[in-house]
Structure 1
Amino acid sequence: MKTCKKCNLPETYETIVFNENGCNICVGTNKYKNIDWAENKKKLLNLVNKYKSQKGYDCIIPFSGGKDSTFQVHYAVKELKLKPLVVRFNHGFLRPKINSNTERFLKKIGVDFIDFSPNWKIVRFLMEESFRRKGDFCWHCHTGIFAYPLRLAVSFNVPLVIYGEPQSFHSQYYNVDEFEKENIEKFEMLRTLGISAEDMVGMVNERQDEKISLRDLEPFSFPDEKEFIEKKILPINLGNYIKWDVKSQVEIIKDLYGWETDELEGVPDELNPYGSKIECFMQGTRDYIKYLKRGFSRITQNSSQLINDGVISIEQAKKITEANEGQIPPSLDIFLDFINMDKKDFYEICESMEVYPHKRDKKKNYKISKKTSDFDKWFKVK
């Protein structure tokens, strides 16, 4: 496969376009560094001043307990002086250290917190169906973490919703200097995998004996658009208004709240120094599926970002990725047990969704990545 001469991302990376300067992804990263952040900060302050309330909540902040959402809450409370309602859509696979980080952080900072867990049976159906249809089992998570806080914003009449990273950090659906809006168009384009809630109900009911209804999928569905507009719900990305510096942000939450990073299944520690994607114990399997479909995984993605940040060279990145890409995660067995699927079906589904020109070498003897230290604490069906 062709790869970017500067950041090493492959041609199967979503939205990538190669150019004389490398690719549009690494060019966008460099462009982000040159935005007028003082001016954007003024826009943020003017915006939040309009939404500060004398009663109830000033804003809603979607929260996972990871590094970004922890910093979002910190910044909103300590820098913007807002009173937030912090909302976690619990996808069902949170790791022990994230839960302890969350408990410690919430007690130290002092905010109201809603922790919502969707129906576990419904989640299982959704995971199986979205994997079979799209090779991505995270439909319930993609939709729920965005839809559920927005539904609360409508119900509680709290118009301002503060997310963290813009989509432009990871793809070029948007320009890095563009103020993204979490509206229904973006939700349908990026969150639903092209499967509406109505379609999902029909798909699940074709396969499962236990039937579901559209009512069961309300937590995963965008709010009523008319009501959303009438109540002037405004979801923003904090990273559009302040320079998103992950290294310094992680240092802040570590120093102030004792936030701790963790291992990431299948990824060498040196490629994940700031604790990206450590919330979910299915992350290793999700990354492995990306490798099966596109020929790269989190290892290549993280190393590419570290190249752009000047932490490692492209030669170092290539050496690490060649030694580690394609390893089989121990969490794969947990995932397959959960959706009641055998490995033959799993690999056939992934193979049917390979992105040209990637083709997995079936004759290669792939290693199994080491178990993380908390593996035995992960929920298992069997």
Structure 2
Amino acid sequence: MCGIFGLVTSSNHSFDRERWQRAVKDLFLLSQSRGKEAAGLAIANPTEIVVHKDSVSAEAMLKTADYEAAVERGARSFFAGESAGPLAVIGHARLVTNGLQGIDANNQPVWRDDIVIVHNGIVTNWAELWAANPDISPRADVDTEVIAALIHKYSAEGDSIPHAMSRAFNEIYGETSIAFFTRGSNELLLGTNTGSIHYCVSNARDAFFFASEKWICQKLTLGQKAIPGFEGAAIQQLAAGQGMTLDLSTLEAKTFSFDPALATPQVSPLLGTQRKIEEKSYRLRQAQANMRRCTKCLLPETMPYIAYDADGICNYCHTYEPWEKKPEREIEEYLSKFRGNGKAPDCVVAFSGGRDSSYGLHLLKEQFGMQPITFSYDWGMVTDLGRRNQARMCGKLGIEHIWISADIKQKRANIRANVLAWLKKPDLGIIPLFMAGDKQFFWYANSLIKQTGIPLMVFCTNRLEKTDFKLGFLNVPPQVEGFNQPSSFGMGRKAKMLTEYGKRYLSNPRYLNRSIPDTAWAFLSYYGINQDHLYLFDYVDWKEEVIDDTLINGYDWELADDTPCTWRIGDGTAAFYNYIYTSVAGFSEHDTFRSNQIREGQITREKALALVERDNQPRWKSIREYTQLINIDFDEAIRTIDRIPKLYA
């Protein structure tokens, strides 16, 4: 199981900073024998609790600049003599039992409500506890969170912390030992139902430490690793079924039974003010929230080539040309030239399985009386959900579905090679390379017109999905025109793109792999061949609520279980690249999409902000599935992304 530990020093202890850091380091290194998959600590001083965690072993974490920065933030005032209060640390060396280690929220210490907690063991009935307490809900996948949530719930109902902890332990099944701080009290609280907490008080009774095993305490009270002041100190065990409160100011320890009837109804020593809790993820969320955004749309200051006028309105809003829908009678006249007798196919629909192509298929058959056949290109990243939605649409409408399948094994190998190259030297400009393998879709669309003898190819893309920022990060300025037909890009723009890609290839030789011929074909398919097809939403209103209602209620269209958004859920790559953009730049294609909706008067800015906040949440299940498909390590990928310097920080 995991290793937990803690160290409390009063202001009159003889520790200097070097000895204190050595003691914390030794506690980490000795505790990591119980778990080497993640590590973290929380440092509590009188004004704040600094939380730091990493998805690496304790030994590796101790060598990072982020760890040093966290220690500096948490301990500086104590060793500078600016704080008269105590300094307390709890730490964790993790053996993963549930909750992916690459996701910071699953690592420890866990911050939930007013509690910062470390936990050794497994809560086997965690799912049942969440279900039995519908007024609280999980925010991560780690079982530890339910312990903190229950303690906070019961204390908010009026219980003392010991009584709240006793109630929580009496509901928990499984092996559990914990230590935690609360935001408003001056205590360290410990509890165990197995006896896996051993502790020592210094000879001068001015310091305290605990660990998960007796031998760790022995190492730190005897011999070369002995913590100053603890030489020969007695080692005590917190018995199974007991908790402890440690007053951080006086180091007075009180034990109590987990029998709620016997738990001491003591009042916790309160701090004058609530501690601030400082954690990297929280700090980054605050930085994102504080980004400057256009006062008309949502585009933030990290958007490539953005500028704001005196009123805070961005240049993208100033240059935006409102979409002028072509008269619907024109498409009626145009389709009448191809419409057959209702039996033979009269058009081919490019069918990704996403919401736009699904709704377009519905319109062509039900509103315009066409008899389409559909065409899909399977390059290995069409999700199973997307395939099921394609089957629903074609089955209910009675439409033939043509599949053209790539060498999926090779396609995924290409993606893997390029993603691994990118992870070695991350660069937002080259992320579109991950999706290059799907661009032959356009090549096969043209080929299918010749193959079937049906001259009408229909695409159902819409102008709101314009994502200039992807090329912007490649140092290619935005282009107002040419959304539907990339082949119309000028030669200068194409040359600029190739030059910028070439620079990145040369700076990272890992891109010089077997995917190059496929990537070259993709570039030619997207930018080099004619795409003069019919674009349905140039003539038909695009209304998100109508589309969603039609698909969900009319065709039993399936939604993803990791997002309420209906966009991109059939695309296996979208969750991954949008996570990168959001993590590093603070926005994704959801922000640009909603900004275009604002400009078109479809939604208010306030609603758009709420939708972006919702849709930019990490889709962990989909990201996990993506990394499995291309055979890369999920934890290593997320760790690398999280460590990229943030454009908004």
1:41-190 paired onto structure 2 within 5 Å: 41-52=328-339, 57-131=345-419, 132=421, 134-136=430-432, 138-167=434-463, 169-171=465-467, 181-182=484-485, 184-185=487-488
Equivalent of residue 578 in structure 2, options 287, 293, 298: 287
* Range with greater deviation from structure 2 (141-150 or 286-295): 141-150
Q: Find the residue that maps to 2:534 and give its secondary structure.
A: strand
Which letter maps to 1:182?
Answer: Q
> Do the aligned residues in 2 keep the contact of 1:72 with 1:164 (CA within 8 Å)?
yes
Amino acid at match of 1:159: P
For residues 139 and 348 of structure 1, what CA distance do their matches in structure 2 show?
20
Shift of 1:222: 2.3
CA contact (8 A) 1:3 1:11 kept: yes
Asked whether the equivalents of residues 392 and 555 of structure 2 are also in contact (C-alpha less than 8 Å), the reply is yes
How far is 1:330 from its partner? 4.5
CA contact (8 A) 1:180 1:236 kept: no
Q: Deviations over 1:320-353 (max 9, x none)?
A: 867996758344444445244676577668977x
In 1, are the aligned partners of 2:345 and 2:372 still within 8 Å (CA)? yes
| Mapping for residues 14-53 of structure 1, pairs under 5 Å | 18-19=308-309, 20=311, 22-23=313-314, 25=316, 31-32=322-323, 35=324, 37=325, 39-52=326-339
Write the distance in 2 (CA, Å) between the matches of 1:115 and 1:8.
38
Shift of 1:45: 2.5
Task: Indicate yes or no: 2:543 matched with 1:245.
Answer: yes
Q: 1:181 to 1:30 in 2, by over 3 A?
A: closer
Shift in alpha-carbon separation, 1:148–1:349, aligned structure 2, 3 A? farther
Q: In the TM superposition, what is the alpha-carbon distance from 1:68 to its structure 2 partner?
A: 0.7
- In structure 1, stretches of 5+ residues that fail to align are 362-382
1:47 alignment partner AA: Y
1:327-338 matches, cutoff 5 A: 327=618, 329-337=620-628, 338=630
Query: Would you say the 8 A contact 2:351–2:358 is kept in 1?
Result: yes
Quote how far apart the aligned CAs of 1:288 are: 0.7
2:554 alignment partner AA = L
Quickly say closer, same or farther: Cα 1:129–1:305, change in 2 above 3 A.
same
Q: Which residue type is aligned with residue 10 of structure 1?
A: P
Measured against aligned partners, the alpha-carbon deviations of 1:121-175 in whole angstroms (never above 9, x if no partner) come to 2212331354436134533454133333233224334332211224454246565
Report 1 or 2 for greater relative contact order, CA contacts < 8 Å, sequence distance ≥ 6: 1
- Distance in 1, matches of 2:490 and 2:463, equals 12
Are the counterparts in 1 of residues 467 and 589 from structure 2 also a CA contact under 8 Å?
no
Which of the two has greater strand per residue? 2
Counterpart of 1:103, as a letter, is: A
- In the alignment, which residue of structure 2 is the partner of 1:3? 293
User: 1:367 is matched with which residue?
Assistant: none
CA distance in structure 2 between the partners assigned to 1:93 and 1:194 by the alignment: 25
Pick closer, same or farther for the CA change 1:157–1:138 going to 2, 3 Å. Answer: farther
Structure 1 contact 135–350 (Cα < 8 Å) conserved: no
Query: 2:513 matched to 1:222?
Result: no
Label 1:333 to 1:103 Cα distance change in 2 as closer, same or farther (>3 A): closer
Cα RMSD (Å): 4.6
CA distance in 1, matches of 2:308, 2:591: 17
Q: 1:57-112, CA deviations, whole angstroms, 9 ceiling, x for partnerless residues? A: 43221112221111111122222322322011223244444333222221111111
For the Cα contact (< 8 Å) 2:458–2:533, is it kept in 1?
Answer: yes
Say if 2:442 and 2:526, in contact at 8 Å, map to a contact too: no
The change in CA–CA distance for 1:216 and 1:345 in structure 2 (over 3 A counts) is closer
Aligned length: 332
Aligned-partner residue type, residue 557 of structure 2: W
2:346–2:372 Cα contact (<8 Å) kept: yes
1:249 deviates by 2.3
Stretch deviating more after TM superposition (341-350 or 154-163): 341-350
Measure the CA separation in 2 of the matches of 1:238 and 1:112.
20
Larger Rg: 2
Q: Structure 1 CA distance, aligned partners of 2:433 and 2:306?
A: 23
Does 2:526 match 1:235? no
SS at match of 1:87: strand
Instruction: Specify the code of the residue in structure 2 equivalent to 1:99.
Output: R
How far, CA to CA, are the matches of 1:248 and 1:57 in structure 2? 27
Say whether the 8 Å CA contact 2:375–2:403 is kept in structure 1: yes
Q: TM-score, normalised by structure 1?
A: 0.66
Q: Is the 8 A contact 1:61 1:85 kept in 2?
A: yes
SS in 2 for 1:88: strand
CA distance in 1: counterparts of 2:616 and 2:465, whole angstroms: 22
Contact 1:126-1:140 within 8 A present in 2 as well = no
Match of 2:439, SS? helix
Letter in 1 for 2:292: K
Give the distance between the partners of 1:7 and 1:215, measured in 2 at CA: 37
SS of residue matched to 2:322: helix
Q: State the one-letter code of the partner of 2:410.
A: I
By how many angstroms is 1:51 displaced?
Answer: 3.7
Matches for 1:341-352 after TM superposition, within 5 Å: none
User: Is the CA contact (8 Å cut-off) linking 2:296 and 2:605 kept in structure 1?
Assistant: no
Q: Which amino acid aligns with 2:401?
A: F
- 1:297 is aligned to 588
CA change 1:99–1:186 in 2 (3 A) is same
